[in-house]
Structure 1
Amino acid sequence: MINKIKLYHGDGGAKTNELIRQIFLKNYGEAEDVLSDSFVFNTHASKLAYTTDSFVVQPLFFRGGDIGKLAICGTLNDLATAGAKPLYISAGFIIEEGFDIEALCQIASSMGEVCKDNGIRIVTGDTKVVEKGSADGLFINTSGIGVVSEHYSPQDIEPGDEIIITGTIAEHGTAILLDRYDLAIETNILSDCSALSHLISDLEMMLPYIKRMKDPTRGGIATVLNEIADYAGFNVELLEDNIPIHPQVKAVNAILGIDPLYLACEGRMIFVVKKGYGSKILQLLEELCGCREAKMIGCFTADRQKLVYMQTKIGGKRVLPSLESQTVPRIC
């Protein structure tokens, strides 16, 4: 570990994982399941999930959303990875002196709309104002609590288990790049920022066949799949032809020299599915969830190197390591 925090410590890749393990887990105590985005615990009546997240995205307003929408959707999606239907959310604001009130109203309105659409409420919060130059406009922290479906329980991953992504990749990361750097590229790309809570209800009866769920935010699908492979102890094989990506997203990233496999999604879920059940779940995703671009993108193999690799269109293999160097900081 170096002795100063660098921007790459917030990118969601190998350096972020190193920071979490060597600083936070070392001092807080090891978590039962370091792969999960929500902590699941029992009460007398039911099993609950609890999660927290902070949002420092730049710019605060981007094509397809803003920091407020992102904060609520991100929290709901972290609960969904634990199989939880959301109940309540808290919201804490750190606001820089001089921040525009109209902009703050717009952000609060976005948060309220997502909550209304998903049948939840923000029930507690906190606001702090700091001196000009101390917070780059606005930071938001949210926490969420939800009830875990009785049909969902994470299971050990085995060779042959199938991997599904619920939609096209890299749209959020690409939208942020376009707006942050005011790139003169004509495109209708929007962030995929959206809440995924409905997946838990829509797929209720198939949840016993879903072994793991993870939303591919910082570090993109390549980094998230490396985390899962490391936890499972098996290799992941992806098929390049099966990875859904809009042509415009692919083109913009080719111009910028960025690999979309490492760019954040904020409205997509990765499922690890019991072997043989992927096709049925894909059918339900399309029919019930509106996920018409969901794809089965690969599977786990029996090899134990814990590698993620992609079978390319020309017949080769490309190893996809975890994100090591900075791609796009302050993405969420």
Structure 2
Amino acid sequence: MNDFSANDGKRRPRINDTHVNLSHGSGGKAMRDLIADVFVGAFDNPSLSALEDQAVFDLKQLGTHGERLAFTTDTYVVDPLFFPGGDIGHLAVNGTVNDLAMSGARPLYLSCGVVLEEGLPIETLRRVVESMRQAALAAGVQIVTGDTKVVERGSADKLFINTAGIGVVPAGINISASRAQPGDAVIINGTLGDHGAAILIARGQLALQAEVPSDCQPLHELVAAMLRACPDIHCLRDATRGGLATVLNEFAQSSQVGIRLQEQTLPLREDVKGACEILGLDPLYLANEGKLVAVVPGEAVEAVLAAMRALPAGRDAACVGRVVAAPRGAVILETGFGGERVVDMLVGEQLPRIC
């Protein structure tokens, strides 16, 4: 059921409650008023304002953007809710937009499902929803349907969000983890590990003077520019949980190729390097929320880098490695000291609840 359809009038009430309580999930007037005030008031658009149990789209209109639909979903449980450079709402919108963009799709529509813990301040919820509204506006997507649930105090941790997204893939785009070929180049769009370090610092786990902002940002415009420069991008993925190392291992295993990284070419903030040294973390595995990894034909490297560097999200883009024939399924890091080491797939979780 689309709980965002609960308000069937034009006038949207302003709730007086200061904290979420169980009546806000009861299906009655309290829930309807919460949804109408906090969610519909923020996300209102032609699809949502129909106030049905689902959003309905014209297939002919969708078809003007491309030939295939892309569909994704993700759930966000980040702790803390607010951190330097973003918050759970900003993260939920951009994370889903980016998952669609990694197929080359143009993101169009999102859903929003929330699980609220009894006792959550209404003002906190308003801040998160407003952040989602701003992020959706900036990304050019609409939040068109949703759901709200309230659980007893202690049954969740303040607020969880699920977002699903629909986009359309233009004709002629064929991006897949299985398409990496020897001679291809590995490109990233900027510094690694910023989001993971931001969450660590926001939790008070590091006594660092400098503030590291999360890199949370939408990447679909950057991807569109890259595709204009090279329509034949072979592999593309955002380096979230598990970081660069995990993405490259997935590419190497799916394509049955080897990938060699050059350590000296990896862009890292000094603050992030310091945080990793203090905690014994490897920045190759640290999470990002605004970084992508692309595998492109070798002859297209300069054109793709130029297109990326022309946009804010890609100004620090760099070529950091190459695809080789062997060893198949392996990622090798060539160190600054002239040695090399195997970069395995991440086992376990370096840092829980980072998104």
Q: TM-score, normalised on structure 2?
A: 0.79
Q: 2:238 aligns with which of 193, 210, 215?
A: 215
In structure 1, the partner of 2:299 is: 276
In structure 2, the partner of 1:103 is: 124
Preserved CA contact (<8 Å) 1:209 1:277? no
Q: Tell me, in whole angstroms, the C-alpha distance in 1 between the residues paired with 2:211 and 2:75.
A: 28
Larger radius of gyration: 2
Preserved CA contact (<8 Å) 1:175 1:191? yes
Stretches of structure 1 lacking an aligned partner (at least 5 in a row): 1-42
The Cα of 1:182 is off from its aligned counterpart by 4.4
In structure 2, the partner of 1:86 is: 107
> For 1:229-282, what per-residue CA distance to the aligned partner results, in whole angstroms no more than 9, with x for missing partners?
100101110000111111111112111211111110000111110121111100
Q: Tell me, in whole angstroms, the C-alpha distance in 1 between the residues paired with 2:228 and 2:314.
A: 17
Distance 1:208 1:75, change over 3 A: same
Preserved CA contact (<8 Å) 2:227 2:233? no
The Cα of 1:197 is off from its aligned counterpart by 1.4
**Pair 1:248-2:271 in alignment:** yes
Secondary structure at the aligned position of 2:299 is classed as: coil
**Pair 1:49-2:94 in alignment:** no
In structure 2, the partner of 1:300 is: 323
> For 1:198-252, what per-residue CA distance to the aligned partner results, in whole angstroms no more than 9, with x for missing partners?
1233234234231111000001100111111100101110000111111111112
Q: Tell me, in whole angstroms, the C-alpha distance in 1 between the residues paired with 2:74 and 2:348.
A: 22
Aligned residues: 290
Task: Indicate the structure whose relative CO is greater, using CA pairs within 8 Å and at least 6 residues apart.
Answer: 1
The Cα of 1:185 is off from its aligned counterpart by 1.2
Q: 1:148 aligns with which of 169, 176, 191?
A: 169
In structure 2, the partner of 1:331 is: 354
- The residue identity in structure 2 corresponding to 1:184 is A
- The residue identity in structure 1 corresponding to 2:273 is K
Distance 1:249 1:124, change over 3 A: same
CA RMSD of superposed structures (Å): 1.4
In structure 1, the partner of 2:139 is: 118
Q: Tell me, in whole angstroms, the C-alpha distance in 1 between the residues paired with 2:207 and 2:159.
A: 26
In structure 2, the partner of 1:184 is: 207
**Pair 1:61-2:82 in alignment:** yes
Preserved CA contact (<8 Å) 1:151 1:204? no
Distance 1:77 1:290, change over 3 A: closer
Segments ≥4 residues shifted beyond 3 Å: none
> For 1:98-136, what per-residue CA distance to the aligned partner results, in whole angstroms no more than 9, with x for missing partners?
001111111001100011112211000000000000111
- The residue identity in structure 1 corresponding to 2:308 is L
- The residue identity in structure 2 corresponding to 1:142 is T
Q: Tell me, in whole angstroms, the C-alpha distance in 2 between the residues paired with 1:47 and 1:77.
A: 17
Q: Tell me, in whole angstroms, the C-alpha distance in 2 between the residues paired with 1:61 and 1:114.
A: 15
Preserved CA contact (<8 Å) 2:198 2:211? no
Secondary structure at the aligned position of 1:209 is classed as: coil
- The residue identity in structure 1 corresponding to 2:200 is L
> For 1:82-112, what per-residue CA distance to the aligned partner results, in whole angstroms no more than 9, with x for missing partners?
1011110000000000001111111001100
Q: Tell me, in whole angstroms, the C-alpha distance in 2 between the residues paired with 1:205 and 1:151.
A: 12
The Cα of 1:288 is off from its aligned counterpart by 4.0
Q: Percent identity?
A: 46
